[in-house]
Amino acid sequence: MPDSVIFGMEVFLNGLMAGVLYALVALGFVLIYKASGIFNYAQGVMALFAALTLVGIMEGQVPFSHLINAVFGTKVHHFGWEVPALLAIALTVVVMIALAWIVNKLIFRHLVGQEPIILFMATIGLAYFLEGFGDVMWGADIKKLDVGLPQGMNSAIDDVTFGIFGYGFFIDNLDLVATVVAALLVTGLVMFAQYSKHGRAMRAVADDHQAALSVGISLNFIWVMVWSLAGFVALVAGIMWGTKMGVQFSLSLIALKALPVLMLGGFTSIPGAIVGGLIIGVGEKMFEFAIGPLVGGATENWFAYMLALIFLVFRPQGLFGEKIIERV
Amino acid sequence: MFYREAGDFKTSYVDDNQTFPIRFDRYRYYAVLVAAFAVIPFLINDYWVNAVFLPFLIYTIAAIGLNILVGYCGQVSLGTGGFMAVGAYACYKLMVAFPEINIFFHVIVSGGITAAVCVLFGLPSLRIKGFYLAVATLAAQFFLVWLFNRVGWFYNYSASGQINAPERTVFGVAVTGAQTAPWAAYLFCLIFTVICAILARNLTRGMAGRKWMAIRDMDIAAEIIGVNPLKAKLTAFAVSGFFVGISGALFFSVYLGAVEVGEVFGINKSFLVLFMVIIGGLGSIFGSFAGAAFLVLLPVLLKNVLVGGLGWPTDLAAHLEFIIVGALIVIFLIAEPHGLAQLWRVAKEKLRLWPFPH
């Protein structure tokens, strides 16, 4: 087998793994969009905020230490204890739920009935706020996140592929873990939406707000729940991406990676997010591998958007999106 | 008392349709123009021009452009940064290729080139609507920035990948390059801002603007009453691109002088201009001015208070600025979704009745 084909296969597999990570972020978008019609631009920043909070709790940082130091001239930075990873994750979940509650209470309750574009703008404002808030709370330096996930090359895959092709594939253990986690998460979410009481209520709200209200479903509760779920998904994505590339500002930019995934898969479809993520992940890695060197590289920045754009011209609602019906 | 239509008799249709039907407004408008052209140039120094006036004037043009697209035609665009980059690079190539032609024309032609690019990326808007379109315009943002970063022809293969504005003069006075006097740069931008504002105001209340607004309010209904959506949407993209291109060209040549595309015309620029439009008021030319002024002044003010006044470290101040801008945007949207322009309208309504509110 020629070398380029084998390399291509390796790139393909890595693309699939990257796609899973994109899909993880996209999932959070879909959840909120389906239930409340809000296109939540802050999803990426929520992932960053969750990861920052997790690291901060684990290392026992004093929140707002920079601000306190600047105002009172003190020099506090750490409490001096370390929290085990699982407990820290649980605490972060609590923080994300509180965040969901506050966001709904303070922002989106007041914006009920506004046009979608206004809601979208509000989430951009929220994104700015959270970004600054996270930095003030925990500091803006790049942090290492280690919750005990395996990292580095998977030697089993390396051995097996070396036996077959005479060339060992490089697959990161972390990507494998992310794939498993994503699969569990999606299964869990689908089960929750299909079979649990609150899941059904959530789908009812997604279908029709007023009808859901009239059969006694509390919109407020559902929205807080959905934002909490999205916060939880953001935390998972934050852990995966944060372990991969450190907890830093650029983590929030993964939201921009998830947008073409959404367009491709459709804003309203959970399976769409997964399939779209895989297509984009594989597509951009293969394009960079095959065409990238010819045009100067770094095509990953825009390829996904172009692919989605061209695709949308032929199918405006995405792969799995609900058909858009317009009436005058 | 002084703010009334009463006693101001209109004797022709032209009078009837003027932009400022109330006499007080009209005189205020002339006073602002006189102050801007004849008073401010004598008072300003380097700091004021570079920190406040130039960004304000240039962002105003960009905000007017985006407002036409988003506020009047209802097509949300997140590609403003990329389109500004087109204007900047077009202006650079023209300035280097035709040094004997006045830079005034270079800026206008750059606007034209940007309009063409904008129309190209506007084509999908005929099929895609709403958020899908907003995200689709991000394709323009990322692709254009990548293009200017990677293809050497655009920056004339300079080693740093930057573009630098050579010195150009208007009537013998330098407006670009290191030798520029503050007042010259200010006046040069001011002329463009005023022309663009007048142009936009008249376009938006004419046939073109009415078609855009019909498309914004309900595109299918507009189509039924005879508005051609293809033409209406693409003209909106073209006009918007023209203004945004001019602002990009000025931003590069007059304001910054040297530009590295990823840094200056990144996605943040797109959001910044969009915020100006939203905070100022969708579908209002005055709103574009107000929004640009607000978001240009706010960081300057915060920086002066936090760093200069309280002596906090600059990075902390930068983070607080994020918090405050984000919070203000949300507060604005909750309190007044139609922006500063709506507050202005309400104030004028109140003023007309004052001091007898009934």
The residue of chain B with its CA nearest to that of A324 is B129
Q: Where are the alpha helices (DSSP H) in B151-218?
A: 182-205, 207-217
pLDDT tens digits along B133-180: 887 888 889 899 988 888 888 888 888 888 888 888 888 888 887 788
Which chain A residues contact residue B315 at CB under 8 A? 140
**What is the pLDDT confidence band of residue A41, given thresholds at 50, 70 and 90?**
confident
- C-alpha distance from residue B3 to each of B22, B26, B349 (Å): 7, 11, 10
Q: How far is CA A285 from CA A118, A290, B147, B275, in A?
A: 35, 9, 19, 34
- Exposed/middle/buried for B210, CB within 10 Å: 0-12, 13-18, 19+? middle
Residues 231-290 of chain B with CB under 8 A from chain A are 267, 271, 274-275, 278
CB contact under 8 A, B319 and A130: no
Residue B85 — pLDDT band, cuts 50, 70, 90? very high
Best of B131, B215, B270 to mutate (most A CBs within 10 Å, chain A):
B131
Burial class (CB in 10 A: 0-12, 13-18, 19+), A144: exposed
B334 vs A contacts (CB less than 8 Å): 107, 110-111, 122
Q: In angstroms, rounded to a whole number, what is the distance separating the alpha carbons of residues A298 and B43?
A: 47
pLDDT band at B222 (very low <50, low <70, confident <90, very high): very high
Residues facing B259 on adjacent strands: B163
Q: Residues B120, B144: contact at Cβ < 8 Å?
A: no
For A103, name the nearest residue in chain B, comparing CA atoms only. Answer: B330
Mean per-residue pLDDT, A151-155:
70
Place of tokens 């579908």: B283
**Contact at 8 Å (CB) between B142 and A302?**
yes
Answer positive or negative: Cα dihedral of B175, B178, B180, B183. Answer: positive
CB nearest to A70's CB, from B136, B313, B323? B313
Contacts of A125 in chain B (CB under 8 A): 325-330, 333
pLDDT at B1 over 70: no
Q: Indicate whether B68 pLDDT > 90.
A: yes
End-to-end CA distance of chain A: 59
Element (H, E) at B174: strand B173-174
In the numeric block, which tokens belong to residue A154?
Answer: 């998977």
CA distance B190 to B171: 16
Question: pLDDT tens, B183-208?
Answer: 889 999 999 999 999 999 999 999 99
Set of chain B residues whose Cβ sits within 8 Å of the Cβ of A126: 326, 330
- Nearest Cα of chain A lies from the Cα of B259 at a distance, in angstroms, of 20
Instruction: Note the pLDDT of residue A99.
Output: 92
- Confidence category of residue A328, pLDDT binned at 50, 70, 90: low
pLDDT top residue among B351 and B237: B237
pLDDT at A30 exceeding the cut of 70: yes
Residue type, B81: G
CB nearest A306 (choices: B139, B320, B328): B139
Handedness of CA A42, A47, A51, A53 (dihedral sign): positive
CA distance B289 to chain A (A): 19
What is the rounded average pLDDT of the residues A30-38? 79
Q: By percentage, how much of chain A surpasses pLDDT 90?
A: 5
Lowest mean pLDDT of A58-67, B138-147, B247-256, name the range: A58-67
3-state secondary structure of A247: strand
Mark yes or no for CB contact A295/B321 under 8 Å. no
Name the residue facing B320 among A120, A136, A317 (closest C-beta).
A136
Interatomic CA distance for residues B222 and A262, integer angstroms? 29
Position A245 scores a pLDDT of 78
As a whole number, mean pLDDT of residues B306-315 equals: 76
- Does B325 sit within 8 Å of A316, measured CB to CB? no
pLDDT, residue A246, reads 79
Identify whether B343 is part of a domain: no
Neighbours of B139 (CB within 10 A): 27
Residue A148 has pLDDT above 80, yes or no: no
Say yes or no for a CB contact (<8 Å) between B124 and A313.
Answer: yes
Q: What pLDDT is stored for residue B196 in this prediction?
A: 94
CB atoms near residue A254 (< 10 Å): 23
Quickly list H helices, A166-253.
173-195, 197-207, 209-214, 219-245
Q: Which residues of B touch A118 (CB under 8 A)?
A: 333, 337
Does residue B338 lie within any of the structural domains?
no
Taking an 8 Å cut-off on Cβ atoms, the answer to whether B131 and A116 are in contact is yes
Question: Pick the residue with more confidence: A159 or A84?
Answer: A84
B198 lies in some domain: yes
Q: Is residue B208, in this structure, part of any structural domain at all?
A: yes
Domain assignment present for B58: yes
How high is the mean pLDDT of chain A?
A: 81
Token pair 């040549």 in the structure block, residue: B253
Chain A residue whose CA is closest to B324: A129
Partner-chain contact B316 A130, CB within 8 Å: no
The H or E element that residue B164 is part of is: strand B163-164
DSSP conformation class of B53: I
Looking up tokens 């899941």 gives A199
Distance CA A247, CA A47 (A): 10
Instruction: Identify the weakest region by mean pLDDT among A312-326, B53-67, B291-305.
Output: A312-326
> Average pLDDT of B316-326?
83
pLDDT band, very low/low/confident/very high, at B235 (cuts 50, 70, 90)? very high
Report the candidate in B204, B205, B267 with the shortest Cα–Cα distance to residue B236.
B204
Count of structural domains within chain B: 1
B326 contact residues in A (CB cutoff 8 A)? 125-132
Is residue B289 pLDDT above 80, yes or no?
yes
Q: What average pLDDT does this structure show over B274-288?
A: 88
| B23 pLDDT above the threshold of 90 | no
Which pLDDT does position B19 carry in this prediction?
84
Question: Cα dist. A237→A151, A175, A247, B231, B241 in Å?
Answer: 16, 12, 12, 43, 37
Distances (CA, A) of B309 to A133, B18, B297, B303, B324: 22, 46, 16, 9, 17
Instruction: Choose the weakest-confidence range: A86-90, B35-39, B335-339.
Output: B335-339
Percentage of residues in chain B with pLDDT exceeding 70?
Answer: 99
The pLDDT assigned to B224 comes to 92
Reply yes or no on whether the pLDDT at A84 is more than 90.
Answer: no
CB-CB neighbors (< 8 A) of A305 in chain B = 135-136, 138-139, 142-143
The pLDDT confidence band at residue A1, using thresholds 50, 70 and 90, is low
Least confident of A146-150, B157-161, B245-249: A146-150
DSSP of A4-56 = HHHHHHHHHHHHHHHHHHHHHHHHHHHHHHHHH----TTHHHHHHHHHHHHHH
Cα B132 to Cα B143: distance, rounded to the nearest angstrom: 17
The answer to whether the CB atoms of B129 and A124 lie below 8 A apart is no
> Closest chain B residue to A66 measured between Cα atoms?
B316
Helix ranges restricted to H, chain B: 13-16, 23-34, 40-43, 46-48, 54-67, 80-97, 103-122, 130-150, 182-205, 207-217, 219-224, 229-250, 261-264, 267-280, 285-303, 314-335, 339-353
pLDDT at B233 over 90: yes
The string of pLDDT tens digits covering residues A238-250 is 888 888 777 777 7
Q: Is the pLDDT of residue B110 over 90?
A: yes
Residue B250's domain spans which residues? 44-266
Q: Do B142 and A117 touch (CB under 8 A)?
A: no
First to last CA, chain B: 14
pLDDT value of position B299? 84
What was the pLDDT predicted at B86?
94
- The answer as to whether B124 is a domain residue is yes
Q: A302 to chain B nearest CA, in Å?
A: 5
Residue A87's pLDDT band (cuts 50, 70, 90): confident
Average pLDDT over every residue of B295-321: 81
Measured CA to CA, the distance from residue B48 to residue B43 in angstroms comes to 10
Mean pLDDT of all residues in chain B?
Answer: 88
What are A193-230's pLDDT values in tens digits?
888 898 888 888 877 778 888 998 888 888 899 889 88
Whether A124 sits inside 8 A of B329 (CB atoms) is: yes
Which residues of B fall within a CB distance of 8 Å from A121? 274-275, 278, 329, 333
Across B18-25, average pLDDT: 84
Top pLDDT among B1 and B37 is at B37
Closest by CA to B274, choosing from B252, B261, B301, B292, is B292
